[in-house]
Structure 1
């Protein structure tokens, strides 16, 4: 998912603005409600310093691009003690997938219709969201997004039975929150709630101007989850991700495209960080490289449309159920959902890549 970012140099916006003078009055009529990109409504453009950029992005048919920032290699730390005793352990099921994503909605946007097929098949699915996707708006907004993703899973599984919630202290020292449907323990959603890193990879002022990129690059020593959980340094974060993967005993993993892939250029920096984390730690959690599938994020909009007809209708229905709980991307029907800049393009596409297909740089 995306966030409004500061303007970057050389984006070519000035030329587009010059050609668009006739539309100035129309631009002024754009409502605050419509100026959103997956996590931050613009309530006073001057406050974020990116007003002109936001207006230009609203006129682009294919949505935003994330800032490209060099990422340091991730080297997993060896563990002295086995992970088998993790409090996060979940009973293994048939055909188990552990899915690790940056934000709550990455899965329903980039990995559907496959996600719906996994749930419909009766397979076991353990989903993990690393950041809160809070966009600097606080825990209450992050919890709205979490409620939305649970509702989306209800739509896919065909049940509205309540979800049970519990806090888990991990062997790594991290604390996570886990949601499990009371009638379907083969499914679970676990959230770590680290701060959103923003499209700029600079974080948000409300959360200290830092996110996963700075943590992995060593420019900040640790990140604090927005729910006041224990702070995590880079080594502890890697250990946490490995512990959660191992606790799900997966046959396979799905996740975001890693930073080192050519398909990551223009993606949200949080997506790239999570993909790289998973790629680095999966072998230490007992999952071979060939069992990991990576889904292209923002750059999928440049691939041919490949979700159409009934699968597209079902995908948009799931997204609309999620969006009803996320006040900054709510859409009233399929047409409105598909008209959202960026989201409309991503919903019409889904591109998984194997390790061999990543085009590593």
Structure 2
């Protein structure tokens, strides 16, 4: 059973696939927690709603069905409420949305959200952060506990997440990615989750790593991502055009997952 903890709605598709796709096709369960609303400073907007439709569509491709999804609120063991969506005919899959503000490419956020972001929270620049939809407040400690509660509550035997910003492989990545991986790493260091189950996905810097997916795997990954992209008003384009995009095309041709034990510790991993 895979539990994923990701910064944005497409991180699992770009950096944790084909592993996730193959797990679903083999009959395994997948639970993902997305920390931010992936809102690009727009708040709870049509843009966010579109991206959430897109992530459902991508998992429809993986599971081979387009039946309806239903939403519910779930309260984790530490008292945090998350919005969870699952296909009506496939309880193996659950996507949980915490909907914290997106940090943007600088990690500093936007005026509309008061420049309050997960990277700034972890850096100690703000004392707390609130969700865009429910107004739940998070300190760093509560966010680490939330990540741990999601993972342990899912019964995960494998955990996938973004590369921590403290790791050499995290240099040059999106700040939200590094902060998300850093929260999982902090949960490992605190003994809240088993590090032996955790693998970190190399993100933006992966374009410099060797391409390691064959043509069939790339075509399948592209089909999954294109189903998502159809609902993302910024990324939307003809499917074959994604492979020609700088960065995105390289990510679609690669997947590099690093075991927790192989990720170096550098700096504060709170």
TM-score (norm 1): 0.71
Partner of 1:112: 17
Give the alignment partner of residue 183 of structure 2, picking from 259, 277, 299. 277
What is the alpha-carbon distance in structure 1 between the residues aligned to residue 123 and residue 264 of structure 2?
Answer: 22
What is the alpha-carbon distance in structure 2 between the residues aligned to residue 227 and residue 306 of structure 1?
Answer: 39
Give the alignment partner of residue 56 of structure 2, picking from 106, 128, 150. 150
Partner of 1:314: 220
Structure 1: state its 5+ residue gaps: 1-95
Aligned pairs for 1:26-105 within 5 A = 96-105=1-10
Deviation at 1:358, TM superposition (A): 2.0
Instruction: Report SS of the residue matched to 1:139.
Output: coil
Question: Which is worse superposed, 212-221 or 285-294?
Answer: 285-294
Deviations 1:229-279 (A, max 9, x none): 312122211121111111101112111111121000000111111111112
**Number of residue pairs matched?**
265
What is the alpha-carbon distance in structure 2 between the residues aligned to residue 117 and residue 217 of structure 1?
Answer: 36
Deviation at 1:188, TM superposition (A): 0.4
Residues 1:132 and 2:72 aligned together = no
Root-mean-square deviation (Å)? 1.5
Instruction: Report SS of the residue matched to 1:255.
Output: strand
Deviation at 1:175, TM superposition (A): 2.3
Instruction: Report SS of the residue matched to 1:138.
Output: coil
Give the alignment partner of residue 204 of structure 1, picking from 110, 125, 137. 110
Give the alignment partner of residue 250 of structure 1, picking from 152, 156, 174. 156
Retained in 1: the 8 A contact 2:195–2:261? Answer: no
Instruction: Report SS of the residue matched to 1:123.
Output: coil
What is the alpha-carbon distance in structure 1 between the residues aligned to residue 163 and residue 138 of structure 2?
Answer: 23
Partner of 1:268: 174
Partner of 1:174: 80
Deviations 1:286-316 (A, max 9, x none): 6421211111000001111112311000101
What is the alpha-carbon distance in structure 2 between the residues aligned to residue 185 and residue 269 of structure 1?
Answer: 32
Structure that is richer in strand per residue: 2
What is the alpha-carbon distance in structure 2 between the residues aligned to residue 349 and residue 196 of structure 1?
Answer: 25
What is the alpha-carbon distance in structure 2 between the residues aligned to residue 191 and residue 123 of structure 1?
Answer: 21
